[in-house]
Amino acid sequence: MAALTSSLRLSPQYNSKDYEQHHGFVVEEIEGLIKVHIDGHVERPQIVPCVTPALSPELNVISRDIVIDHVTNTWARFYVPICHKQKLPLLIYFHGGGFCVGSAAWSCYHEFLARLSTTVECMIISVNYRLAPENPLPAPYDDGLKALIWVKNQMIYNYEASKWWTKKCNFSSVFLAGDSAGANIAYNVATKVGAKLRPLSLKGLILIQPFFGGEVRTVSEKCMGQSHGSALNLTASDAYWRLALPSGADRDHPWCNPLAKGYMTLKELKLLPTLVCISETDILKDRNLEFCDALGKAGQRVEYVVYKGVGHAFQILSKSQVSKSRTNEMMARINSFMAL
């Protein structure tokens, strides 16, 4: 495949045939989400609208967008509850999308994180990292680490422009979180930070339906993997990994499969206490359960919850009553975890 050089966000009026004529045939596609052309150009139709930081006043949350790295144009959307006298814990969040699609400005994330901020009474920084295939792994991990270092610098240097949120932030209670590919990013960033964040204090890791993979299929991947009505099926999962992993890597690369070398390697990690949220009808269910079991065998502190009757990304994509109920349960569990 030719080197990937550019990304295009398309209006609903674009002519797909003209575009293909100009840029060549499609070499990779996830229907409705992304097309990669032979010349490296990428189409990402706006299947989910991007929205401004504006929020309903009844949420009592201030939201703003801030650029945190001008070189890579990495930015973040902040959610800061108001009317709180005590300082608030900080949740640094990474959105999902298979490393290839998604945005901190997507309406579904904006609504979910605003509600999470007010429900849990925490400050949230939602990081908008670079996407594959233009920026394959480890670019999203690098962006995640840079975001944490940026937060640390705001704390240390107490910049005047940042005081609107830093004065309300409890920097001794910082958590990393994300869903799907974002949970993968949170996990891999957590394994890398070490002493780089001192004196910033990381307290825990919250992984919602973490996007891991492997060459050997799990039972849930085999049984639920071809459900095209799901937010994630096996065809899409494999395509995301082909686009995101370094050239020549397979799904047993440690960024995709943290268990490829067995759970013994996990003993070497100084991993944060971890909460894993798993969906019962998600193709990732068994892989997530295996991950939790391996962490426990390696002596890591891990707890998990399986949410019944819901699939991948239910908390942002489904409006059913069951999904709303499970989302409330998830937020309550996150609240309890962050209070420990």
Task: For 222-251, give one letter per residue: b (16+ CB within 10 A) or e.
Answer: eebbeeeebbbbbebbebbbbbbbeeebeb
CB 29 within 8 A of CB 42: no
Would you mind telling me the total number of residues written for the chain in this entry?
A: 340
For residue 70, what are the CA distances in angstroms to 75, 76, 143, 146, 212?
A: 8, 12, 11, 11, 30
Q: At what angle do helices 139-157 and 181-190 cross, to 10 degrees?
A: 60
Nearest one of 82, 65, 81 to 117, comparing CA atoms: 81
Between CA 324 and CA 111 the distance in angstroms is 13
Residue with token string 């958590």? 175
Nearest one of 234, 287, 225, 227 to 257, comparing CA atoms: 287
Q: In the annotation, is 323 catalytic?
A: no
Which residue out of 180, 220, 237, 318 is catalytically annotated? 180
Catalytic site positions: 180
